[in-house]
Amino acid sequence: MDNRAALIAFGESLAARGSPQTQTRYLRACESLIAAAGELSLAQLTRYDLQRALAKLHAQGLSPRTLAVTLSAWRTWFRYLSKTDAAISSTVFIGIKAPKAAKRLPNALSEVDAVRLVTLPTQHDATKSPWAEARDQAMFEVLYGCGIRVGELIGVDLADLDLDSHEMRVFGKGRKQRVVPLGRPALISIQSWLEQRVTGIAATDTNALFLGARGERISAPVVRKALKARALLQGITSNVYPHRLRHSFASHLLQASGDLRAVQELMGHASIASTQVYTHLDFQHLAKVYDQAHPRARARTQKK
């Protein structure tokens, strides 16, 4: 079977068991291998040939993530062909790895912008009722004040609140529950919302803390839309979304306390490694302070 016929057979196999998106990505990746192989058959390709083909794609600007998908597609293709062609083996890929993608640092707001975002605007939003304003204010204070995920926010029930103890129970990934403290601003805004909640739209979901326009449990898209509207109202031009408030919570708390374990518990991270990424943000903050404040840093800057 020549390379082109082998690709057609592989495509038929993918169509029978994979999603159309996977089929498209994998076939495109395998087309690049056929191009790299030239006159060679797949059985003739060596580990060096495959590494060189991958390196060439890297040099063309393909991202590490795309290269990882490409390499996975090649391996899957070879495994498929090895079932009917003894001359082909996927073991030729042993030791070949796609370049690692650089870890992206969480995108946190500055403390000034975060506080401005969750502060009740002096300029009234004419499109919002007092009911919706109270709800939004409580949601934003909880997102930033507790560092919870938007999925955790919309899942909170009235029964999860303990206002006397200033605590709230949330359910994270895998329904793992944790208790987060409610700061004074969050507590006050929740109390204001609870007063509005019973006087405004009738709740069709009587358990949910936060309600949508029809009285149902609020959805994540509605939260995102409301947060973007608040950012525009407050003159914040950067992209604002619920998870960015979570990043901001972790970053600002770590900068102030330096307590990585405490931040891990509050964020609900199963592994400390997930929390350690915020130490990089903390170091960036410290480096900026150093560059701005330390005499030797100023002297170095002036010389430049």
- The domain segmentation of the chain, as residue ranges, is 3-93, 111-292
- Spatial neighbors of 43 by CB under 8 A, at least 6 apart, are 85, 87, 88
Measuring CA to CA, which residue among 258, 262, 255 is closest to residue 285?
A: 255
Q: CA 270, CA 289: separation in Å to the nearest integer?
A: 31
Task: Assess whether 26 carries a catalytic annotation.
Answer: no
For 41-57, the pLDDT digits (tens) are: 999 999 999 999 999 99
Task: Assess whether 149 carries a catalytic annotation.
Answer: yes
Task: Assess whether 103 carries a catalytic annotation.
Answer: no
The alpha helices in 20-63, defined as continuous H runs, are 20-37, 47-59
Catalytic pick from 173, 280, 294, 300?
Answer: 173
Catalytic pick from 135, 230, 246, 247?
Answer: 246
Number of residues assigned to the chain: 304
Catalytic pick from 149, 197, 230, 252?
Answer: 149
The alpha helices in the chain, defined as continuous H runs, are 3-17, 20-37, 47-59, 64-82, 111-118, 130-146, 150-154, 184-197, 220-233, 242-257, 260-267, 272-293, 295-303
What is the mean pLDDT of the segment spanning 75-103? 88
Q: What are phi and psi of 32, to 5 degrees?
A: -65, -30
Is residue 116 within 8 A of residue 236, CB to CB? The reply is yes
Q: Which residues pair with 217 in a beta bridge?
A: 211
Task: Assess whether 173 carries a catalytic annotation.
Answer: yes
Measuring CA to CA, which residue among 67, 93, 80 is closest to residue 11?
A: 80
Our measurement of the distance from residue 213's CA atom to the centroid of its chain's CA atoms, rounded to an integer in Å, reads: 27
Is residue 180 within 8 A of residue 162, CB to CB? The reply is no
Q: How confident is the model at residue 125 (pLDDT cuts 50, 70, 90)?
A: confident
Q: How confident is the model at residue 304 (pLDDT cuts 50, 70, 90)?
A: very low
Q: CA 213, CA 206: separation in Å to the nearest integer?
A: 14
For 249-295, the pLDDT digits (tens) are: 988 888 888 888 888 888 888 888 878 777 765 555 555 655 665 55
The domain 3-93 is placed in CATH, from the list 3.40.640.10, 3.40.47.10, 3.90.1150.10, 1.10.150.130, at 1.10.150.130
Q: Whole-prediction pTM value?
A: 0.62
Task: Assess whether 278 carries a catalytic annotation.
Answer: yes
Task: Assess whether 80 carries a catalytic annotation.
Answer: no
Q: How confident is the model at residue 196 (pLDDT cuts 50, 70, 90)?
A: very high
Give the model's pLDDT for residue 20: 82
What CATH superfamily is the domain 111-292?
Intergrase catalytic core (1.10.443.10)
Q: How confident is the model at residue 301 (pLDDT cuts 50, 70, 90)?
A: very low
What is the mean pLDDT of the segment spanning 140-144? 96
Residue 197 has pLDDT above 70, yes or no: yes
Is residue 190 within 8 A of residue 138, CB to CB? The reply is yes
Residue 173 has pLDDT above 50, yes or no: yes
